[in-house]
Amino acid sequence: MILNGLNRYATTFLVILLAIAVLVPALNLGLPASSPFHVPNFMVTLFGKYLSFALLALSVDLIWGFAGILSLGHGAFFALGGYAMGMYLMRQIGSRGVYGNPDLPDFMVFLNWQELPWYWYGFDNFAFAALMVILVPGVLAFVFGWFAFRSRVTGVYLSIITQAMTYALLLAFFRNDMGFGGNNGLTDFKDILGFNIQSDSTRAGLFAASALALAAGFVICRVVVASKLGKVLVGVRDAESRTRFLGYRVEHYKLFVWTLSAVLAGIAGALYVPQVGIINPSEFAPANSIEVVIWVAVGGRGTLVGPVIGAVLVNYAKTYFTGALPNLWLFALGGLFVAVTLFLPKGIVGTITQFVNGQRAKGRTAAELREASEEAEAGVEPDGRRPKPQSPKPQPAE
């Protein structure tokens, strides 16, 4: 089933991604800094962050590009996965914190908390934290989608509700009494799985994990959209009422793909946090979720590969221009979205695919016309049979 869902282009993309997962850490750790092929440590961390953003963009493309669900709140699921990982990393600090408390994180000691809240229990175990990375965004998405899709909320109304959801979480996590560090969030991480989070080998391992997670997410999305389920999702996107009239429980299909997308976003957030070293409520900001939509639009929605490329390109441009032109970056981002909408409505990958398919269609048409012309000159009919010789008409007797 997995092989059936992967065409030649998807397989090529996976091979490239897996090669990057191996080569970049090898070039970083195996070559001296003086080598021209050495990958600097900061590039490993930077592009590891880009790969986690790419997985987030992939999750948005799954629902927007193939089911027509435009989410302006997917940053909430990304941030929840990040907080789950951040809670695990905070529990690993132990007595090495500023206040030396082996049970309470530093911010709780500062706020005079006397004991660890119940919802922090279990986060000293990586397996439990990994389970929460999947469950917390997944359960929230399932509950949200259950009510929204059963009520047949669609279009711009659903987009506004998703934006309200992430904004509500932003306000909640800003509160110090929530027990998540308030506006400062969670930071000052030390270890992950017993390895120093600041070491070069750990950074390289996190990069490889991000690349492998992106590859796994791509395979899952590709299998879904290439299956019968994917065909129904496209039907929902293009004509939801007609699909429902044919007997499909549209809300069940939308709920499944919505929940799966949220889980992928949560995993992306969990990979993001140890690489940047902090998670705070600003990740819930609605502007972040809107920016993810721009990544997908630039790369090409409904292509799966496009959002990955769009996320890397836009974020690399953001990194460059925020240093070169820090006061103009937001204008550049808005202008980029307008330009893509006007001149590349299908995105980068979508436009290239359309051009290639058009050239192939022209080539096939020209070949068919040339073949038909040659057959006509040879006296061959379109079905490949030569015309039967006609017998001469009998002459009337004189």
Q: How many CB atoms lie within 10 A of CB 240?
A: 18
Q: What is the secondary structure of 290-310 as a DSSP string?
A: HHHHHHHHHH-TTSSHHHHHH
Q: State residue 343's pLDDT score.
A: 85
Tell me what pLDDT residue 396 has.
Answer: 57
Cα separation, 309 vs 299, whole angstroms: 6
Angstrom distance (rounded) from CA 205 to CA 44:
10
Q: Return the pLDDT at 194.
A: 92
More confident: 337 or 377: 337
> Token pair for residue 229?
């389920």
Among 70, 72, 53, 51, CA closest to 61 = 70
Q: How far is Cα 200 from Cα 193, in angstroms, rounded to an integer?
A: 15
CB-based contacts of 271, cutoff 8 Å, min separation 6: 48, 51, 52, 55, 85, 206, 209, 210, 213
Residue 164 in this model has a pLDDT that exceeds 90: yes
Q: Which of 356, 244, 253, 350 is nearest to 306 (CA)?
A: 350
How confident is the prediction for the chain on average, in pLDDT? Answer: 90
| pLDDT tens-digit readout, 202-254 | 999 999 999 999 999 999 999 999 999 999 999 999 999 999 999 999 999 99
The stretch 153-168 carries a mean pLDDT of 95
Mean pLDDT of 50-64: 97
Q: What is the pLDDT of residue 234?
A: 95
Predicted TM-score (pTM) of the model is 0.90
Q: Which residues contact 60 (CB under 8 A, 6 or more apart)?
A: 71, 74, 261, 265, 292, 293, 295, 296, 307
Q: 299-303, 361-365, 393-397: lowest mean pLDDT where?
A: 393-397
Could you tell me which residue, 394 or 51, shows the higher pLDDT? 51
119-147 pLDDT, tens digit per residue, is: 999 999 999 999 999 999 999 999 999 99
Could you give the count of Cα atoms lying within 13 Å of 128 in the half-sphere of its Cβ?
Answer: 11
pLDDT at 385: 59
How far, in Å, CA of 60 to CA of 306, rounded?
12
Dihedral of the alpha carbons of 309, 310, 313, 318, in degrees to the nearest 10 = -150
Cα separation, 255 vs 24, in Å, equals 37
Compute the Cα dihedral for 340, 345, 348, 351 and give only its sign. negative
Q: How far apart are CA 301 and CA 66, in angstroms?
A: 8
Tell me the pLDDT tens digit for each residue of 261-294. 999 999 999 999 999 999 999 999 999 999 999 9
Helix (H, G, I), strand (E, B) or coil at 36: coil
- Per domain, the residue ranges of the chain are 8-285
